[in-house]
Amino acid sequence: MSQHHDPVHPDSDHLTAETLADLGLGLLDETSAAHAEHHLAHCADCRALRDQFPALADALADLPDEPMPEPVWQRLSAALADEPVTTPEGSATVVPIEAARQRRWRRPGIGLVAGAAGVALLGAIVVPSIMNASDDSAGVTAASDSSRDDQGTNKVPMAAYAATQSGTKYQEAALDSQVTQLVAARTSVTGDTELVTGSTPSSSPSPTASATSKPTSESPSPSANRSVAAMATDPAAAQACLVGYLDAPDVQPLAIDIGTWRGEPAAIIVLPNDDPALADVFVIDPDCAGPGDPLFYFATVSR
Amino acid sequence: MTVEDPRPDAELLAAHISGDPTAFTSLVGRHRDRLWAVALRTTGDPEEAADALQDALLKAHRSADSFRGDAQVTTWLHRIVVNACLDRLRRAKSRPTVPLPEHDSAHPIEPSDPLGRRELAWEIDRALRTLPDDQRAALILIDVEGYSVEEAAALLDIPAGTVKSRCARARAKLVPQLAHLRNRSAPDHVPVSDERSAHPTDRPPGAQP
């Protein structure tokens, strides 16, 4: 293998350029390498050929960068300028995941509004411990705040929606329009309509009772596993995620949908932004827990 | 011309992800000659190179948050550019055969260049275009761009051994073509392509690879 009739050295069994290249990269087996080294020790011609490899490497490493022609740069920058990722209005505005975490609703302590039904739901997922000690004192205020104006009926805000399971392939580039469509299709459940599905609490929760109960967010029980499947099929699990992870029990989601994100199953949770023209989109692991951060992606889009 | 943005690469990318509308263009503008060189050498064709770069940069622009921070930003960009080039080459292969044009206009010969560096680059680029695409891509990453075998393997998403063997094949093809460059004295040496056509194979029939 290491010896060939070489056109460079037509009159003897010299090493080929292939063999020398393989030798240089350590690709020859031991026997062939030893044979080649032995031949090199005795053959000036083959040494000369071998020495051309470092010379080639030098020449290649020395190749200058090619200046990009100005028309090419103009074309590329124009194409980039047309990309809709970051504009003040209209398109999805991407923020780092870290910032998205801080965007989670921080109405402290209201995770406990739901009463018995809510507690059961919370027990179904593993909730990251996002409630710190200071939440307790603020909880009373926030909880009573949640009983304001529109909460007079027996409608429980956190249950007033259902997750759809469209299987949509959500993508950054199309998120804006995908969410707009999703929300448009879901307008019937964002208003004061009756509950579509999900966990309807058997009785109206008492704000006072909820304010005194502790968020039962810790329950790494076997039920946690159950929620993996549940999130995709049971809106209650999506809701529990909203309560437990996003800490937004009193926020009416504009829509919740189960689709995919980068090939993985994902829950898309659309919540209203402070700016009524915008919506906050959370792309989240459908089991709402996972080994890492369950939040895949966050963006603010126009409605 | 672009105004140089003083922020480091990683900061520019983070700014882009946070919504800075000019950060990505600043980032690309800073590395545009390098990226152009890689695209041009990998595709061997300015049109293909420009198309591949556009594919790559739009993809990078959209998926910037997929950058994990465990690599250099330039490595991440290179990976996307090289793969876009290889994608285009594969697609070009599936189209009806169009001979790879010689684009000498992209490499103007400057005989007056005292160091002969431009001329040498021109010779090498011509020789590079004679290589199979996969071999050329591996060689460019290792020998031109200076990536390690492991880095190139990760970049191309192929085993390190495959990178090495492609690189070896490519070097073995280039050495006979470029040997004359080392000790040429006459400026009117035989063009590389003519020399190559006189020796369609480096081995006689029957020789093992």
Give the C-alpha separation, A122 to A218, whole Å. 8
Q: What is the largest CA-CA distance in chain A?
A: 101
Q: Please answer yes or no on whether B34 and A93 come within 8 Å at the CB atom.
A: no
CB–CB of A212/A136 below 8 Å?
A: no
Residues of A with Cβ-Cβ distance to B48 under 8 angstroms: none
Contact state of A7 with B202 under an 8 Å Cβ cutoff: yes
Are the beta carbons of A96 and B37 separated by less than 8 Å? no
CA angle A245–A253–A83, rounded 5-degree value:
90
B18/A22 touch (CB, cutoff 8 Å), yes or no: no
- Whether B207 sits inside 8 A of A5 (CB atoms) is yes
A95 pLDDT tier (thresholds 50, 70, 90): very low
The answer to whether the Cβ–Cβ distance between B37 and A65 falls below 8 Å is yes
Per the domain annotation, does A32 fall within a domain? yes
**Nearest Cα to Cα of residue A198 among A120, A287, A295:** A120
> Which tokens is B81 given?
């550019």
Q: Are residues A20 and A135 in the same domain?
A: no
Average pLDDT over residues B92-102: 54
**Residue A85 pLDDT grade (very low, low, confident, very high; cuts 50, 70, 90):** low
- Work out how many domains chain A is built from and give that number: 2
Domain carrying residue A15 = 1-73
Q: Measured between beta carbons, which residues in chain B are less than 8 angstroms from residue A49?
A: 175
Nearest C-alpha of chain A: how many angstroms from B94? 26
Among A20, A47, A73, give the residue marking a domain's end.
A73
Q: Locate the chain B residue with the closest alpha carbon to A4.
A: B207
Architecture of the domain defined by B112-184: Orthogonal Bundle (1.10)
The residues spanned by each domain of chain B are 1-95, 112-184
B140 has a pLDDT exceeding 70: yes
b/e A35-64 (16+ beta carbons within 10 angstroms → b):
bbeebbeebeebeebbebbeebbebbeebe
The answer to whether residues A113 and A143 touch, using CB atoms and an 8 Å cutoff, is yes
Mean pLDDT of chain A: 64
Average pLDDT rounded to a whole number, residues A162-177: 80
Which range has the worst mean pLDDT, A76-80, A136-140, B84-88?
Answer: A136-140
Higher pLDDT, A208 or B121: B121
Residue B200 token pair: 């369609």
The pLDDT, as a whole number, for residue A38 is 93
A230: left (phi over 0), alpha (psi -120 to 50) or beta: alpha
Do A4 and A138 fall within a single domain?
no
The verdict on A24 and A153 lying in the same domain is no
Average pLDDT, chain B: 78
Residue type at A86 in one-letter notation: T
* Nearest alpha-carbon partner for A92 in B27, B13, B65, B28: B65
| Residue of B80, B169, B174 to mutate when probing chain A, most A C-beta within 10 A | B174
Distance from CA of residue B10 to its chain's centroid? Answer: 23
Taking one residue from A and the other from B, the number of pairs with CB-CB distance under 8 angstroms is 166
- In A, which residues are within 8 Å of B106 by CB distance? 66
Q: Look at residue A79 and tell me if it is in a domain.
A: no
| Nearest residue, CB atoms, A27 vs list B24, B164, B174 | B164
pLDDT of residue B82: 92
Q: Identify the domain boundary among A45, A73, A101.
A: A73
- The pLDDT of residue B163 is above 90: yes
Q: What distance in Å separates the CA atoms of residue A282 and residue A288, rounded to the nearest whole number?
A: 11
Q: Is A116 part of a structural domain of the chain? A: yes
Please tell me the predicted confidence (pLDDT) of residue A12: 56
Q: Which residue of A has its CA nearest to B65?
A: A96
Contact B19 A95 (CB under 8 A): yes
- B74-87 average pLDDT score: 90
- Rounded CA-CA distance A2/A19 in Å is 6
pLDDT value at residue B111: 44
Hey, what CATH class is B1-95 in?
A: mainly alpha
Domain-embedded: residue A195? yes
CA distance to partner chain B, nearest, from residue A63 (Å): 6
Q: Which of A18, A49, A60 has the CB atom closest to B209's CB atom?
A: A18
A73, A106, A124 — which closes off a domain?
A: A73
Contact (CB<8Å) B139/A66: no
For residue A82, being part of any structural domain is answered with no
Residue A239 has a pLDDT of: 67
B23-56 pLDDT per residue, tens: 999 999 999 999 999 999 999 889 999 999 999 9
B33/A68 CB distance under 8 A: yes
* Same domain assignment for residues A45 and A177: no
Residue of A nearest to B121 (CA): A63
